[in-house]
Amino acid sequence: MVITFNELRRIKDKLPSGSSQRIAEEVGVSVDEVRNYFGGRHFDGAGAPVGIHIEKGPDGGVVTLDDSCILECALRIIAENDAKAV
């Protein structure tokens, strides 16, 4: 899957507090890996890169995601949060 870096950050910014932990538990990765997926740089311990490849360019560059399960989980959490707000 390909997405712009800025769009990936916008999705991250829409997530409610505690979402990184929830995503990590649902997907079976560390919280640092979830943070790295959204552009963080937490490489100590288990926070290794998680299959994202960033190429510089307009709108923050292009991000190629090897696996979109973290993104899909984040989008589902945002949709749930939006539905509660209505």
Q: What local confidence, expressed as pLDDT, does residue 52 receive?
A: 78
31-48 average pLDDT score: 73
Q: Is the pLDDT of residue 24 over 70?
A: yes
Rg (CA), the chain: 13
pLDDT value of position 70: 95
| Domain range annotation of the chain | 2-85
pLDDT reading at 84 higher than 60: yes
Report whether pLDDT(44) > 90.
Answer: no
CA atoms within 13 A on the CB side of 75: 7
Please answer whether residues 65 and 54 qualify as being in contact, where contact means their C-beta atoms are separated by less than 8 angstroms.
no
Q: Does residue 59 surpass a pLDDT of 90?
A: no
What average pLDDT does the segment 59-74 reach?
A: 92
* pTM for the whole structure: 0.84
The structure tokens listed for 20 are: 């990184």
